[in-house]
Amino acid sequence: MKIVFMGTPDFAVPCLKKLAESVHDVSAVFTQPDKPKGRGYKMIPTPVKATALEYNIPVYQPLSLRKGEDAENSLKILHDISPDLIVVTAYGQILPKEVLELPEYGCINIHASLLPKYRGAAPINWVLLNGEKETGVTSMQMSEGLDTGDMLIKKAVKIGENETYSELYSQLSEIGGDVLMETIAGLENNSLNPEKQDDSQSCYSPMIRKEMSRLDFTKSAEEVHNIIRGVTGFTTLSGKRLKVFSSEIADNITLTESGTIADTEKFGVSCSDKVIVFNEIQLEGSKRMKTVDFLRGRKLTKGEKLD
């Protein structure tokens, strides 16, 4: 099968690798334009572009597929390739109707949620923020709506109570590659049973905003814990910004005033109902580290208030 792949972040890389190492012909990769990064503002290729170049796959990086000269050129390229299938995984652009209808098998999307729940840009963050116990990956036949196409294959996974965004992201990324290959096989042998999405069961997962990471210890420990898991939390310790990357809820530490240190040996902080323990942190001016290592060089004061 002749395939065009569209994707941008490292989440999409396992899908591209599976395709590149299969019997299929990946004729082109479309990805977002390179962006400047670091102090020198050096242009850095997207993870998908870097992977495509490793496999000597032609790469195209239009600013838009919907308007302007870039869109016209891209449409001509796609018509010239005449792919049997377009695969989309976290591309970051909306495909116009003409692109959706171009391949014989249409366009399929690998989405990191159990649709119809968590349509949109940030499903992995939001399942953690909302304390969901299960999520997964869905392949779907793309339509003009936002993640509204017919579902093809779904793979569910349980979410660990302390699992973080980066851990879940990596797991779903790998599952996405397996779901993709299973979906393509189903398309080829006509064994798929497309299932329409029940819009009444859907919810939207919008882009994450920076201010969502601020920790409010007047909330429950579960709410604070889910913010840390879903978007990495931050607070202030002795006037310095403190990032919190992982945590757990403690049942055996005596509660103190909300937002104060309740345990100095484990870095336990009181919330409205229970104490939350920070497991991995980064204090402003220092490197990221396990809390046990942080506490070797820093003595906490019980009752000290975090801002």
pLDDT tens digits along 136-150: 999 999 998 889 999
Q: Is the pLDDT confidence value at 307 over 90? A: no
Q: List the CATH code of the domain at 210-297.
A: 3.10.25.10
- Residues 205 and 122 sit within 8 Å (Cβ to Cβ): yes
- Dihedral pair phi/psi, residue 74, rounded to 5°: -65, -40
DSSP annotation string for 125-179:
HHHHHTT-SEEEEEEEE--SSSS-SPEEEEEEEE--TT--HHHHHHHHHHHHHHH
**Cα of 88 vs its chain's centroid, Å:** 14
pLDDT tens digits, one per residue of 157-200: 999 999 999 999 999 999 999 999 999 999 999 999 999 999 99
| Proportion of the chain above pLDDT 70, given as a percent | 100
CA–CA gap between residue 26 and residue 178 (Å, rounded): 17
pLDDT at 154 over 90: yes
Q: 2-205 with 210-297: one CATH topology?
A: no
- At 249-258, the pLDDT tens digits run 999 999 999 9
Please report the pLDDT score of residue 6 as a whole number: 98
CA–chain centroid gap for 41, Å, is 25
Q: Quick one: CATH architecture of 2-205?
A: 3-Layer(aba) Sandwich (3.40)
Quote the pLDDT of residue 114: 98
Number of neighbouring beta carbons within 10 Å of residue 294: 20
Question: pLDDT class for 261, splitting at 50, 70, 90?
Answer: very high
- Residues 42/79, Cβ–Cβ less than 8 Å: no
Say what the pLDDT of residue 73 is.
Answer: 96
Instruction: Work out the angle between the directed axes of helices 47-54 and 13-20 (0-180°, nearest 10).
Output: 20
| pLDDT one-digit tens code per residue, 86-134 | 999 999 999 999 999 999 999 999 999 999 999 999 999 999 999 999 9
Q: What is the mean pLDDT of residues 30-42?
A: 88
- Which residues 6+ apart lie within 8 Å of 187 measured at CB? 85, 105, 108
**Domain residue ranges in the chain:** 2-205, 210-297
**pTM score:** 0.94
pLDDT score, position 103: 98
Residue 39 has pLDDT above 80, yes or no: no
Measured distance CA(172)–CA(137) in Å, rounded: 7
Confidence (pLDDT) at 40: 76
The CB density around residue 213, as the number of other CB atoms within 10 Å, is 17
How much is the pLDDT for 107?
Answer: 98
**Where is pLDDT greater, at 168 or 307?**
168
Per-residue confidence (pLDDT) for residue 15, from 0 to 100: 98
With a cut of 80, say whether residue 38 has pLDDT above it. no
Both tokens assigned to 127: 């399942």
